[in-house]
Amino acid sequence: MSLNKFSKLFEELDSNNSINKKVNSLTKYFKSNSNLNNIWTIYLLIGKRNKRFISGKSLREYYSDIYKMPLWLIETCYTKVGDSAEVISLLLQDKLPEKDIKEDISLDELINNILPNFFKLDENQKKSYIKLLWEKITKDNQLIFNKILTGTFRIGVSKGLVTKAISNMTGIDESIILHRLMGDFEPIEETYIFLINKKLEQRELAYKPYPFQLANTFDEKIKETTSIKQYHFESKWDGIRSQIIKRANNISIWTRGEELVNKTFPELIKIISDLKNDFVVDGEILIWDENKNMPEDFSLLQKRLGRKSPSIKIQNDLPIVFVAYDILEINGNDIRNKILSERRNILEEKFLNSISEDQTIASKKIKITKLLKMNSWEEVEESKNSARNINTEGLVIKNKNSKYLPGRKKGNWWKYKIDPMQLDGVLIYARPGSGKRADLYTDYSFAIWENNKLVKFANAYSGLNNEEIKELDKWIRKNTLERYGPVRSVKPELVFEISFDNIQISKRHKSGIALRFPRITKWRKDKNIMDADKLENAMRMIRS
């Protein structure tokens, strides 16, 4: 169980862009290591709630105090490298003595026994402890050690690559491995044995969600090549994608991000426990307005997120529903290989009918999405364009003959989203990005006119290409008015088109509005700042 072996694996994965070579490196590594080391490797690589023992900022400050290097110099190095663990590992190369005996540490020993002691110490003791550990670990392992300290692993290794490697090694189908990796798992030897067991029974996956099927962006060519009769049309809900699992009296609600949210939505647990069938259903959690029979804005749902024990008042003020649109398992039978039209019949007959008529609360809290009848692609377009009238994002178009498969599979599901709203804003603030863009100004703030003043209305960091980012970075440095730590205010001269999915009134923002998913869609070099939008235009959007 070697930190040294993990460091070599990390270097191979980080320096290689070939998927096949990454899978081969992982397969070879898993074959040559113990069960416990392998499960810790999987846990770290796919980001299973990696524990952070120290922040990157504190790590840089500790190094400054221990080795008497000016913090400003370390911060300058950090802006060039963009990663605290990496910059400290580089700075340590000249500080650590050469060792005749190379000491190695197991991942399990490091994470379970050595590093937890860190939390018991005061600040001075922590610095001494970190220095001691740095001096015990070889230079080649410093990067991995510091990454474990800060809980940061971003090396382009997806769950899919890990799944392929384990499948290659064991001969178990990738879909089974992927299912076993869903949700939480504890990095212990028993978990790894569970993962590679060829004879595992379905009942041993009682709490596990299935890998989610995802939709591709709609291709307009489909309108010209296929009949509208091949598809189901549903509203694209703007909520929390989730699977509800009821197996042998065990109930769990998993989000697409593989977070267990039973405690966040206790009202659903009670209702589900009263239903007669066992099932796994896929759908969306939403805040629902029963009077209008439509979902509320996503911002209200955000107020429920993160609350581990929502009060009765919160549950009443922000009432949630679960809208099911697919069923993956019924009474212990995995039906993902049935075509969508058959699964829909089962959803209507066995799932919906299990909510008996006298369970009025259940019928209000659990719904199934309606299929929208479309006779032409023109009707599809009209329905998509009017989606905001019912607080949805557009349509989801599904092939009636599609099976439920993990990930984005071509020809199965498409999301056909309403065109985004847009406002032209003036760039007023900029700050550096993170990671590889830590030395470039990539995070921006924009303003629109309120009377004769510019008022901030949006932050955005995506949408520009690399050439535009570099061009804008040079302009920002030449046109800085003031500095506030890492943030620069700039001359109000540049106009950008900002797109967003929704807009609403907000008391928390100076402009009085808040945007959903703002992003830059165009650098409007053809406009001057007087052409930027006015706040009244934004308010008109909200009213309409």
- Helix, strand, coil: what percent of the chain each, to 5? 40, 25, 35
Contacts of 112 (CB under 8 A, 6+ apart): none
Q: 426 and 399, same structural domain?
A: no
Q: 384 and 522, same structural domain?
A: no
Q: 310 and 443, same structural domain?
A: no
Q: 359 and 463, same structural domain?
A: no
Long-range contacts of 380-387 (CB under 8 A, 24+ apart): 380/228, 380/233, 380/416, 383/233, 384/416, 384/417, 384/418, 385/418, 385/419, 387/235, 387/236, 387/418
Among 352, 383, 417, residue at a domain's last position: 417
Q: 295 and 376, same structural domain?
A: yes
Among 388, 417, 446, residue at a domain's last position: 417
| C-alpha torsion angle, residues 535, 541, 542, 544 (rounded to 10) | 140
Contacts of 272 (CB under 8 A, 6+ apart): 244, 246, 251, 366
- Give the H or E element holding residue 457: strand 453-460
pLDDT in tens, the chain (544 residues): 578 888 888 888 878 778 889 899 999 999 988 888 899 888 888 876 667 888 888 999 999 999 999 998 988 888 777 788 889 999 998 887 665 455 678 888 888 888 888 888 888 899 999 998 898 888 888 888 998 888 876 665 678 888 899 998 998 888 788 888 887 778 888 889 988 988 766 556 667 889 999 999 998 888 888 889 999 999 999 999 999 999 887 889 999 888 888 889 998 988 888 888 889 999 999 999 888 888 988 888 888 887 778 889 998 899 999 999 999 999 989 999 999 999 999 999 888 776 654 455 556 788 999 999 999 999 999 999 999 888 899 999 999 999 999 888 888 999 999 988 999 999 999 998 876 677 789 999 999 999 889 999 999 988 999 899 999 999 999 999 998 878 999 999 999 999 998 888 887 788 888 888 899 999 999 899 999 999 998 998 888 7
Q: Would you give the DSSP letter of residue 139? A: G
Whether 419 contacts 451, CB under 8 Å:
no
Distances (CA, A) of 458 to 33, 393, 443: 49, 20, 11
Whether 330 contacts 277, CB under 8 Å:
yes
The reply to whether 362 falls in a domain is yes
Contacts of 219 (CB under 8 A, 6+ apart): 414
Structural domain containing residue 477: 421-543
- Domain of 445, CATH number, reads 2.40.50.140
The reply to whether 23 falls in a domain is no
Q: 334 and 273, same structural domain?
A: yes
Q: 375 and 435, same structural domain?
A: no
Phi-psi category of residue 417: left, alpha or beta, with phi > 0 → left and psi -120 to 50 → alpha: beta
Round to whole Å and give the CA distance between 23 and 157: 9
pTM metric for this prediction = 0.73
Q: 509 and 445, same structural domain?
A: yes
Q: Would you give the DSSP letter of residue 116? A: G
- Give the H or E element holding residue 316: helix 312-317
Contacts of 490 (CB under 8 A, 6+ apart): 427, 428, 429, 430, 475, 476, 479, 480, 481
- Domain of 269, CATH number, reads 3.30.470.30
Among 417, 449, 479, residue at a domain's last position: 417
The DSSP-derived string for 146-203 is HHHHHT---SS--HHHHHHHHHHHH---HHHHHHHHSS----SHHHHHHHH-TT--GG
Q: Would you give the DSSP letter of residue 349? A: I
The reply to whether 274 falls in a domain is yes
Q: 318 and 336, same structural domain?
A: yes
The reply to whether 480 falls in a domain is yes
The reply to whether 520 falls in a domain is yes
Strands (E), 308-452: 320-330, 333-334, 366-368, 394-399, 407-408, 413-417, 421-432, 441-450
Taken in order 345, 347, 353, 358, the sign of the CA dihedral is negative
Q: How far apart are the first and last CA of the chain?
A: 62
Q: 491 and 373, same structural domain?
A: no
Please tell me the number of Cα atoms within 13 Å of 532 on its side-chain side: 27
Q: Would you give the DSSP letter of residue 69? A: -
Q: 324 and 370, same structural domain?
A: yes
Report the SS3 class of residue 8. Answer: helix
Please report the pLDDT score of residue 425 as a whole number.
95
Q: 329 and 430, same structural domain?
A: no
The reply to whether 152 falls in a domain is no
| C-alpha torsion angle, residues 312, 315, 316, 321 (rounded to 10) | -150
Q: Which two tokens stand for residue 173?
A: 């189908």
- Give the H or E element holding residue 7: helix 3-14
Please report the pLDDT score of residue 203 as a whole number.
59
Please report the pLDDT score of residue 46 as a whole number.
82
Q: Would you give the DSSP letter of residue 347? A: I
Bridge-based pairing state of the strands 320-330 and 394-399: unpaired
Round to whole Å and give the CA distance between 146 and 7: 11
The reply to whether 49 falls in a domain is no
Round to whole Å and give the CA distance between 56 and 154: 14
Round to whole Å and give the CA distance between 70 and 61: 9
Domains: count for the chain: 2
Distances (CA, A) of 118 to 133, 404, 441: 11, 46, 35
The reply to whether 168 falls in a domain is no
